[in-house]
Homo-oligomer: A and B are copies of this chain.
């Protein structure tokens, strides 16, 4: 069994079709057919059921599939490990929550890039759940997400600590009045999956502020804009508000410490190879965590 065989197999399994896999692999269908056939002969067991609308993986294929993926990931790691001569360079795909990317990362990235110009940083923002998935499937080398993270395949290092505060327009009425009047409260939140959103909803319901109307946004600036425009209230890291230009025109109201404090951790796959670029990046983060926190 060959590495390209495994790649062919994975592609066919993913696509559920030999023809589609051939396209994706930049080759012709007969080729893929042959390779799969050979593979099946060598293994002595069929990997796919053929039918008129494509193929479906057999039980044997199901058993093979996770291995194929793990092996591919390991080989990728191996090449990285071998090429890694100790100088930080090459691509470094990192994920971050929107707020972290907006508030904490800019100074870190600026310094890091100045120090290691050969590292091609690629920051992807998204909610915690999405980021974790991407780290797990190797499409991100690491990510900044909200604690706690408990997954056997991940390791988390605390980096930042945020105080979540309520943000509302200066002219926003006293919150207590909503409760008394049982008026509908509009909360401006990040898209589903964001852990800050969960905090806010939890807090809102603990305060008995239902019913609630939600407005979703993908960026800090978007949310703050809405808040400033008197659309609703939100829950954001204090730093995200104070450091934003619009932040000056919103009112901040603290919530109880126990519900306000949230740690931002940097997660990586436990088994992934941390190359020089990665190690340097983590060192920079640790630096930032100590000084700027």
Interface of A toward B, CB cutoff 8 Å: 1-4, 6, 43-45, 47, 59-61, 63-64, 67-68, 70-71, 74-75, 77-79, 81-85
In the assembly, what is the distance between CA of A64 and CA of B77, in Å?
Answer: 9
- Name the prevailing secondary structure of the A interface residues: helix
Q: Please state if B60 and A67 are interface contacts (CB–CB under 8 Å).
A: no
Chain B residue contacts of A6, Cβ below 8 A? 78
B67 touches A74 (CB 8 A): yes
Q: Which residues of chain B come closer than 8 Å to A4, judged between CB atoms? A: 2
* Docked complex Cα distance between A45 and B78 (Å): 13
Cα distance A85–B68 in the bound complex, in angstroms: 18
**B45 contacts A64, C-beta separation under 8 Å:** no
Report the separation of the CA atoms of residues A29 and B227 in the bound assembly, to the nearest whole angstrom: 73
Q: Do A77 and B67 contact each other (CB < 8 Å), given the known contacts A2-B2, A3-B2?
A: yes
* Complex contacts, A64 vs chain B, CB 8 Å: 78, 81-82
> Could you tell me the distance in whole angstroms from the C-beta of A22 to the nearest C-beta in chain B?
21
Is the beta-carbon distance between A60 and B43 smaller than 8 angstroms? no
